[in-house]
């Protein structure tokens, strides 16, 4: 009987440890305004900056294959599908060491040439390497999920936030709040949800799209050209002074953001209810060195979608569930520092 209780106790301890597995990786912002993290890999623990990719992706480090060899990576073989050499290496992710496979493109003809990324997106082909799947299959995770929360989306010198792989970091969730599972848009090749088309600037309605994506690549929110034009019209009606340069990537510059109002977007939860996401003026603009502000909203053409730039992760802690291809969202706790 004692042995049975001992086994149950050991099992409970082990299961409790496993069920709370989380790999927390600090995120920074590079000169291209992309979120990235720094890892070490191979027996030599070579350092490299990688992008967390969630679109069509694979684990890729674009460098001469000799570098991967010198860093102590193990050569697996040729990957004819993506035209690359495949390797396996020990990666240092946060405080965790784990073995991952990655590709080194053979040249510019490679499908992923130029990429420096670990993939957390959908695996559509067996030849793609995927960090979540590899960590799950090796027993490092109990859930193929990752979460993003940012504390400061406008700094490149300090940690902007964290990428939490596996279990959520409860300290990032606003007290009394719970994750909401968002509806899943079918037929999309990346994480997406549906919108009820309720898109507003203050009390003024803008023309909303029906599909919503979250971006880890850019601080810019992308709206339809019609919603973008509606927004500029609202600025004019308010007397907000701005400079619009359509021939320079549709850039908009403002002298002040004091008059600007919040932008709200209605998302559709899995149960059909509405979940409203709010972007403040500080999140959809960026102050420049000349004291002007750049509007972090750009138009997109011939599409019925909206892409939220990564400043949204300052207010919301967002999870991405790979097996269910689903997004989870909750209000984020506001704090000065992150608890890894």
* pTM recorded for the entire structure: 0.91
Residue 162 lies in a domain: no
Looking at the domain assignment, is residue 282 inside a domain?
yes
Domain assignment present for residue 336? The answer is no
Domain boundary among 94, 126, 141: 141
Give residue 273's Cα distance to chain centre. 24
Q: Clarify whether residues 135 and 225 are in a common domain.
A: no
What's the mean pLDDT in 157-183? 93
Domain match, 247 and 313 both:
yes
Rounded distance, CA 39 to CA 37, Å? 7
Flag whether pLDDT at 18 surpasses 70: no
Q: Count the domains in the chain.
A: 2
Task: Say yes or no to pLDDT of 6 above 80.
Answer: no
Answer yes or no: are the C-beta atoms of 211 and 306 closer than 8 Å: yes
Round the CA-based radius of gyration of the chain to a whole number and report it. Answer: 22
Give domain status of residue 224, yes or no. Answer: yes
Domain that holds residue 37: 23-141
Question: Tokens 């070579």 appear where?
Answer: 46
Is the pLDDT score of 8 beyond 70?
Answer: no
Q: Which residues pair with 318 in a beta bridge?
A: 148, 329
Which residues, including other chains, have CB under 8 Å from residue 184's CB and lie 6 or more apart? Answer: 192, 193, 194, 270, 324, 325, 326, 327
**Residue 284 belongs to domain with CATH number:** 2.40.70.10
Same domain, 226 and 177: yes
Q: Does residue 106 sit in the same domain as residue 189?
A: no
Does residue 10 lie in a domain region? no
CA distance 231 to 172: 32
Residue-wise pLDDT tens digits, 189-240: 899 999 999 999 999 999 989 999 999 999 999 999 999 999 999 999 999 9
How many residues are present in the chain?
340
Please report whether residue 68 resides in a domain. Answer: yes
- Is the residue at 217 inside a domain? yes
Domain assignment present for residue 214? The answer is yes
| Res 293: pLDDT | 97
107 shares a domain with 231 = no
Same domain, 208 and 295: yes
Residues 134 and 141: their CA atoms lie apart, in Å, by: 9
């Amino acid at each position: 009987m004692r042995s049975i209780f001992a086994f149950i106790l050991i099992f409970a301890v082990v299961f409790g440890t496993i069920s709370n597995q989380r790999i927390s990786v600090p995120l920074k912002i590079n000169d291209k305004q992309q979120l990235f993290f720094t890892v070490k890999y191979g027996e030599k623990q070579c350092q490299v900056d990688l992008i967390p990719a969630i679109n069509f992706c694979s684990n890729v480090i674009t460098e001469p294959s000799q570098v991967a060899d010198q860093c102590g990576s193990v050569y697996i073989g040729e990957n004819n599908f993506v035209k690359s050499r495949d390797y396996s290496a020990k990666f240092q992710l946060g405080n965790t060491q784990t073995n991952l496979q990655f590709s080194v493109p053979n040249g510019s003809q490679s499908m992923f040439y130029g990429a420096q990324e670990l993939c957390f997106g959908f695996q559509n082909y067996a030849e793609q390497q995927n960090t979540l799947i590899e960590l799950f299959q090796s027993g490092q995770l109990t859930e193929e999920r990752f979460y993003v929360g940012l504390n400061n989306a406008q700094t490149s010198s300090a940690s902007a936030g964290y990428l939490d792989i596996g279990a959520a970091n409860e300290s990032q969730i606003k007290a009394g709040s719970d994750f909401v599972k968002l509806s899943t848009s079918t037929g999309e090749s990346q994480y997406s949800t549906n919108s009820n088309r309720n898109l507003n600037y203050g009390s003024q309605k803008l023309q909303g799209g029906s599909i919503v994506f979250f971006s880890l690549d850019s601080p810019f929110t992308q709206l339809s050209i019609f919603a973008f034009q509606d927004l500029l019209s609202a600025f004019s009606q308010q007397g907000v002074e701005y400079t619009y340069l359509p021939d320079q990537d549709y850039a908009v510059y403002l002298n002040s953001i004091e008059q600007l109002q919040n932008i709200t977007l209605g998302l559709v939860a899995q149960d059909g209810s509405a979940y409203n996401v709010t972007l403040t003026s500080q999140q959809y603009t960026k102050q420049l060195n000349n004291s002007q502000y750049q509007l972090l909203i750009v138009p997109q053409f011939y599409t019925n979608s909206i892409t939220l730039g990564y400043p949204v992760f300052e207010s919301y802690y967002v999870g991405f569930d790979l097996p269910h291809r689903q997004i989870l969202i909750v209000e984020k706790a506001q704090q000065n520092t992150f608890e890894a």
